[in-house]
Every structure is written in structure tokens, then in C-alpha cells.
Structure 1
Amino acid sequence: MVHVADTTDSLKFPILIGDIGGTNARFAILPDALAEPKAFPTVQTADFANIDDAIQSAVLDKTSIRPATAVLAIAGPVDGDEIDLTNCPWVVRPRTLIGGLGFEEVIVLNDFEAQALAVSALPEGGREAIGGGTVREGASRVVVGPGTGLGVAGLVRARRMWIPVAGEGGHVDLGPRTARDAAIWPHLETIGGRVSGEQILCGRGLVNLYRAVCAADGVAPVHADPAAVTEAALNARDHQSGEAVQLFAVYLGRLAGDLALLFMARGGVYIAGGIFQRIIPVVRAAEMRAAFEDKAPHGDLLRDIPLFVITQPLAALAGLAAYARTPRFYGLETAGRRWIA
């Protein structure tokens, strides 16, 4: 078993592609370079002891196709032969996948690298604009996604290739801007004394924000999970849930504007993940867009940068499929992230 230290020009088909988040795991098989991915039902990570069992049960037991290659995007930094997921107890061991499940090659990426790959070729119908702005073709792009955690990745165009830039941008600091923020912030649960983006802008973060709103208002919280907060907001059941959802969108807009500045993302900022899609019906888009643009002295710059919600289903798998078909079009470094039998 060896590591391959450079990028790769081609992969051996059939190829298993997988998008592994903290809560859900989504798999598909790409039979060849011209075929559409054959998707399998989404599974819950909590239902399986490890990724090996999930692949065996959810994919290999359901098809006669035997994948030669696996390209997996996981929610966490890829480092070493034992790769921990940030919000899930699974540990990905590529050598075990090769030895136990018969793959000839395994490539492991960060899950938001896969989202960035998807953004490189997202069709018009796969995104919905929030406000104005103009996409500059070939310009840098950013994807940010509230889910089990908060993922962030950039996408840069250079030497006729799209180059995804992964990181842990979801853990940057968030601070109060308004008087209402200042009333809420002391009640937010912190990690190590700080409020990061992920402490507010993810599933558990929405609950954290809702509880802080309740504390600021002097009322007892009645919802214990993000689905309950979202449902209450969508149906106007209580003021605190509604405000929490609106503030969630405003804070996401602020962070998206920061990310646009960091990457000079004239190709747009793209919001991924299911949480935001569910709350779109009640989000005041104009307030979110205003928060995105409120970046003095660069308000004019932000007004020209588009902000999108990704609406294409299984976008990360589409990104992985694009890479798997033509790796040479993507400047994706595989050193330390590619294992061959």
C-alpha cells in the first residue's frame, strides 16, 4: 500500500462517490465517464458503527456493480491514515476500505471541497439569487453551508483549472453589531469562551440562538431541536423562534459578506445545506442581503457580488462526479489523500 504524492489525470471506473456529513451519508456510483451517477438512498451515520458498514449495507449489498475507485468527501480535515469526522464518531481508514471492501484506490476530500467542485459547474436552475450582483466568469467563488456544522470552502480559477480551497472557516469569530445582538450575545453558549460561526450557524447553533433569544426576553424555551425551532418559525407559533430564524439569516449574510471579501469572490457566494433551504419561505431576503453588503468601506464592492442559495439536489455528489470524470480539469492536490492497493 502506497501513498501517491501528486494530482491524478484519470481514475478507474466504476467509481463510488460519497458525501459524508455529521448526520447524513449520501452515496452514488458512476459506472463510466459518460453515465449519470446512480444514487442510493441517503442513510443516517448514527445507524452504522462505521463507514465501512454503511458502504457495504447501503451500496454494495444493493447492486452488482463493484466499484474500483472510491472518492469520498468527509466533514472534517483530511490528515493521515485515520481520518476523524468533526461531528460524527466515524473514523475513515482508507487502507481498511481497500482491504475490506475491495477498492483498488481511495481518494478522500473535505466535504466542502466537494461543494466547491459543484459550484464550478452549477446550472442556472440549480441556484436562487438573494439580491443583485453579477457573476464574473472565472472569478473566485465561495461556498458556505450550515448543516450539522458550518462548512466553508473557496474555489479559485488558475491555469485553466478550478482549484478548491478547503479550510475551517466555519470557526471564525462572530460578534455583536446591534443593540439587540448585544442583548442576546451574553446568553449564547460558547466554546472556550468564544462565539464562532458554527456556534450559531448550524443546526445546534440555531437552537443555541433560539435559547439566547428566549433568555434575553425572559421567557422559558420550549423547543429542544432545530427542526422544532424551524417548524415554529415557519408556522409563526412563537415570536422567539421567528426572531431566531431571521437573525440566523442575517448573521449568515454577515459571514457570507466577510467570506466574499476574503476570497474577492466576484463569482459569487453560494449557500449550501438543507437548513437554509427549509427556512427560505420566512426569511426576509432584503435584510439578509443588506447584512451581506454592510461592509464599509467596501459596500459598493459587495453590492456587485451575487449571493446564491444552492437548490440543486445532491450538489456535493454532482461536484464529486464532475471531478471523477475529468480530474485534470481540477487542481486538486491528492498528496496524502490518495491510497492505492
Structure 2
Amino acid sequence: MPNIMDQEAIIHFPILIGDIGGTNARFAILVDAYAQPKEFPILATADFETIEEAIQTCVLDKTSVQPRSAIFAIAGPVDGDETPLTNCPWVVRPKQMMRDFFLEDVIVLNDFEAQALAAASLDDEHRHRIGGGEIDSNASRVVLGPGTGLGVAGLVYSNHNWIPVPGEGGHIDLGPRTERDFAIFPHIEAIEGRISAEQVLCGSGMVNLYRAVCKADEIKPAYKAPHEITAAGLEGADPVAAETLSLFATYLGRVAGDLALVFMARGGVFLSGGIAQKIVPVLERPEFRAAFEDKAPHSALLKSIPTNVITHPLAALFGLASFARTPIRFGVATEGRRWRA
């Protein structure tokens, strides 16, 4: 007979799972612990006024399955009965969702907490190795992903459980080191006098960095969007775009190395999100790993830590599904983040 802790961990199927970012939202329904998630088309958050409208229109109106529970991963810190998303006007209101959708149970996690849950479960098929090092299967891990913002989470293994550690690590300071950095950094837009990692290592940050390189070299910018800079840089058609990608990889390596030290991440550092997947050829060049490992007096330690790009197209949903199937395997703290009828 299950004990009280087992009962507390139970999440009743069918379960609606959702990865809700600043730009896009992804939903699926997990019918039972053995079924593959039934996925629904990715939707743009800007197309819907509220999350409730999006769920009703794009999920519940498209299936006969009535979820009993829901687990959402949102782009921002979870804060009480009404949680606004960081880069999107949606507000997550679990109590209202329970009334509107007849749910018995709603859990709200941070989006990179879900990425961390995925990092505990993904196999080699969905990991692209960058550089050397070997994964210690029971050691701490770090996930970071440049996207609409820069998401960061840790993953700690303790007492046979994987414990995700969400945070706002994307807002740590980023500063210049080389002569070229000192020429470029004065032109990077600062917020209240500081430059955070997210101001460079995200979609809009890539544009910010590109414009700074242009200003440093007194060149008129030719591109306005990150996908344009990425395409031109990968093709080698534009030297400024190519340098922007090179610097982006360097700064991403520096931040990834710092976080690896913070978490002693012998289990590996995992890069998630669409930007990382698109610039794999740049990350495979020497700059990323060189910056990652350049952490004297601990360079030897960093050389032993592997870095991987997560290639699963729906990694956060995969992580949520893993948690939904076997919640007792994960030390997810749900106090203040779980609502039950």
C-alpha cells in the first residue's frame, strides 16, 4: 500500500502538459503513463489574448480527451495564484483554469526546470556532443538556452532523485576580457548601467551584439533580425555577421563555463533551444570550448566536463512527460506551485 508521500506525488491522468515561452507555446496530452504524448501544433502566444483562450481553441477543441490534471512550464518565476510571463502578456491563473477546464490538479514550474527534467532523461540520440569530457551519470548538470531570453537551470542528483534548481541565471553580469571585447562592449545597450548575459545571449541579444560590432567598426547594419544574422554568418557571406556568431559562441562558452563551476556540473552542460540547434556548426569551432575551458585555476576541471546541444524538438514537453509519468523519481518542490480541487 502506497505511503502518504507516494499519494502526494500522484498526478492523475490524463494530464495536459504545456511549455509556454515568451514567443511560442507547445501543448500535449499524456493519456497514461505508457502512452506517447499526443502533441498539438505549436502556437504563437501573440495570436491569443489569454492562455485560457489558447488552450481551449488549440487543444481542448481538437480532442475528445478531458484532462484531469495539468502541468505547465512557464517562462518566468512562479509567483502565487497569478503569474505573469516575463516576455509575454499572458498571465497564468491556476484556480481559474481549474474552474474553466474542470481540472483537479494544476502544477506550474519554470520553463527551464522542465528543460532540466529533460536533461535527466534524454539519451544520446537527442544530444549532440561539443568537445571532450565524459558525462558522470550521477553528477550535477546545468541547462542553459538562448531563445527569447536566456534560460538557466541546474539539476542535482541526491538520494536517488533528480532535483531541478530553477533560477534567473541568465541575468548574471557579462563583461569584456579581450581587446576586441573592450572595443565592442561600450556599444552594447546597457540596462541601468549593467550588461547581463541575456542582453547578448538571446535572439534580441544577438541583434544587440551585431549592432555593437557595426558601431565599433563604423559600419551600417545590414540586418535587423537574428535569423538574418545567423543565416549570413553561417554562409560566410557577411564578415560582421560571421564575427557576431563567433563572439556569440565565445560569450556563451564563458557563461556556460561559469555555471558549470557554480554547480560543479560533472554530469554535463546542456544547451537547449532553437538558437543553439541552429548554430551547431559555430559551436563546433574552437571558440566555444576554448572559452568554456578558460577558467584558471580550474581549466583542467572544465576540460573534463562535457557540453551537449539538446536536439530533441520538444525537450521541455519531454521533461514534463517524464515527471508526469514518474514524479517520485524527481525531487520537484511543488509547495506554492500546486493547486488542487
In 1, the alpha carbon distance for the partners of 2:72 and 2:317 equals 9
SS of residue paired to 2:333? coil
Matched, 1:74 2:42: no
Q: Is the 8 A contact 2:114 2:316 kept in 1?
A: yes
The aligned counterpart of 2:45 is 45
Aligned to 2:129: 129
Larger CA deviation: 201-210 vs 7-16: 7-16
Corresponding position of 1:262? 262
Shift of 1:108: 0.1
* Aligned mates of 1:193, 1:89 — CA distance in 2: 26
Which residue in the other structure is 1:90 paired with? 90
Change (3 A) 1:287 1:7: farther
Residue matched to 2:242 = 242
1:272 aligns with 2:264: no
The answer to whether the Cα contact below 8 Å between 2:14 and 2:67 also exists between their aligned partners in 1 is yes
How many angstroms apart in 2 are the aligned matches of 1:179 and 1:322?
Answer: 46
Aligned residue for 2:229? 229
The answer to whether the 8 Å contact 2:20/2:26 transfers is: yes
Structure 2 counterpart of 1:8, which letter?
E
CA shift, 1:285, in A, is 2.4
Give the conservation status (yes or no) of the 8 Å contact 2:24–2:43.
yes
Amino acid paired to 1:108 = V
C-alpha RMSD of matched pairs (Å):
1.3
Q: What is the TM-score with the length of structure 2 in the denominator?
A: 0.97
Aligned to 2:20: 20
- Amino acid of the structure 2 residue aligned with 1:331: G
| Mean Cα deviation higher: 52-61 or 275-284 | 275-284
**Distance in 1 separating the partners of 2:267 and 2:157:** 10
State percent identity of aligned pairs. Answer: 63
Q: For 2:287 and 2:209, locate their aligned partners in 1 and report how far apart those are by CA, in whole Å.
A: 18
Q: Secondary structure at the match of 1:312?
A: coil
After TM superposition, what 4+ stretches of structure 1 lie above 4 angstroms from structure 2?
none
Larger RCO, structures 1/2 (Cα 8 Å, 6+ apart): 1
CA distance in 1, matches of 2:198, 2:6: 32
Instruction: Give TM-score scaled by structure 1 length.
Output: 0.97
Give deviations 1:103-130, integer Å, cap 9, x for gaps.
1111000000000000001101110111
Structure 2 letter corresponding to 1:188? I
**Which residue is 1:186 aligned to?**
186
Unaligned runs of 5+ residues in structure 2 are: none
Q: For residues 46 and 248 of structure 2, what CA distance do their matches in structure 1 show?
A: 26
Give the whole-Å Cα distance in 2 for the aligned partners of 1:47 and 1:22.
12
Displacement, 1:282? 4.0
**1:295–1:89 CA distance, 2 compared to 1 (3 A):** same
Cα 1:7–1:145 shift into 2, 3 Å: farther
Q: Which runs of 5+ in 1 are unaligned?
A: none
- 1:120-199 matches, within 5 Å, as 120-199=120-199
Question: Is contact 1:6–1:333 with CA below 8 Å preserved after alignment?
Answer: no
Partner of 1:208: 208
